Amino acid sequence: MSAMRVDAKVVMLGKESVGKTSLVERYVHHRFLVGPYQNTIGAAFVAKPIQVGEKVITLGIWDTAGSERYEAMSRIYYRGARAALVCYDLTDSSSFQRARFWVKELQNCEEHCKIYLCGTKNDLIEGDRSLRQIDYHDVQDFAEEIGAQHFETSSKTGNNVDELFQKVAEDYNNTAFQYMTGKCFMHIRPFFCMNPLSQMAFRVVNWSQCIFRGCMNCHNNNFD
Ligand SMILES: Nc1nc2c(ncn2[C@@H]2O[C@H](COP(=O)(O)OP(=O)(O)OP(=O)(O)O)[C@@H](O)[C@H]2O)c(=O)[nH]1
Ligand SMILES: [Mg+2]
């Protein structure tokens, strides 16, 4: 049996029990597991091919353990990731604090990792709006500030789950030729060189080699 080629590494991050494993289960196996909650130990991996236009992109999804005990390990899993799904539970405000922690971590690391903020368990607030602890617009503002995408999902009903992963694959497909070179000082985020002449990834060490350059977030040239 040959190993599946993975195009884009995706990492799931967030406080324990926010629903990271459930999101992956829903997306990959189209099911929601009922029964006692089983926390992830270390991390789990699954590869999932996804159709983007005429192409098939295989996402390699690392589902990390949310417990702070495993924090150092989670850092290993986001290395080289193209997308980080930073999850928080819409009914638990402390989980959003933890999401902010992961965003800071990702901003400070040297990876080209696009951030997706994911508010989970929205079926619970559909049932009882008083359970909502995280305001949609506050997160939307935060997402815009950091150049992230923002989704609210339910792994129980499947609401917005396919849309989230589809967006991850599409964004990957659209940025496949963008390479890390430095940081935009406006966004403290890596910015990228697009070299349309080459399909081979290479790191641009000299700005003069760079044909198009700019910040992924604001599309300006705020070079550091
Ligand atoms: N109602 C509802 N419950 C959910 C949803 N997603 C997860 N849960 C429940 O939340 C609990 C935790 O879910 P997990 O997916 O195991 O959480 P996790 O983030 O992987 O947790 P760790 O592995 O410990 O980091 C389980 O009891 C799930 O059934 C959802 O969308 N709606
Ligand atoms: Mg888990």
105 pLDDT more than 80: yes
224 pLDDT more than 70: no
Q: Could you give the ipTM of this predicted complex?
A: 0.99
2 pLDDT more than 50: no
CA distance 195 to 184: 18
Q: Which residues pair with 182 in a beta bridge?
A: 191
CA distance 151 to 116: 7
Instruction: State mean pLDDT over 6-24.
Output: 94
221 pLDDT more than 60: no
Nearest CA to ligand 1 atom 26: 37
Going from the Cα of 32 to the center of ligand 1, the distance in angstroms, rounded, reads: 9
Question: Residue 53: what pLDDT?
Answer: 87
Instruction: Please give the share of the chain, as a percent, with pLDDT higher than 90.
Output: 54
CA distance 95 to 87: 8
Higher pLDDT, 179 or 76: 76
CA distance 10 to 7: 10
8 Å CB contact between 223 and 182? yes
CA distance 135 to 61: 28
Q: Which residue ranges make up each domain of the chain?
A: 8-181
205 pLDDT more than 50: no
Question: Residue 208: what pLDDT?
Answer: 42
Span 50-82, pLDDT tens digits: 999 888 888 999 999 999 998 888 888 888 788
8 Å CB contact between 84 and 113? yes
- Cα of 154 vs its chain's centroid, Å: 16
Q: Enter the tokens of residue 93.
A: 């405000």
Confidence of residue 111 (pLDDT cuts 50, 70, 90): low
- Quote the pTM value: 0.81
8 Å CB contact between 117 and 148? yes
**Which amino acids bring their CB within 6 angstroms of ligand 1?**
14, 16-22, 37, 39-40, 65-67, 120-121, 123-124, 154-156
The CA-to-CA distance between both ends of the chain, in Å, stands at 47
8 Å CB contact between 107 and 216? no
Going from the Cα of 37 to the center of ligand 2, the distance in angstroms, rounded, reads: 9
Going from the Cα of 43 to the center of ligand 2, the distance in angstroms, rounded, reads: 8
8 Å CB contact between 61 and 168? no
CA distance 223 to 217: 13
What's the mean pLDDT when you consider all of the chain?
A: 81
Question: Residue 84: what pLDDT?
Answer: 95
12 pLDDT more than 80: yes
Superfamily of domain 8-181, CATH level 4: P-loop containing nucleotide triphosphate hydrolases (3.40.50.300)
CA distance 181 to 204: 6
Q: Is 207 helix (H, G, I), strand (E, B) or coil?
A: helix
Nearest CA to ligand 1 atom 3: 121
Which residues make Cβ contacts (< 8 Å) with residue 200, sequence separation at least 6? none
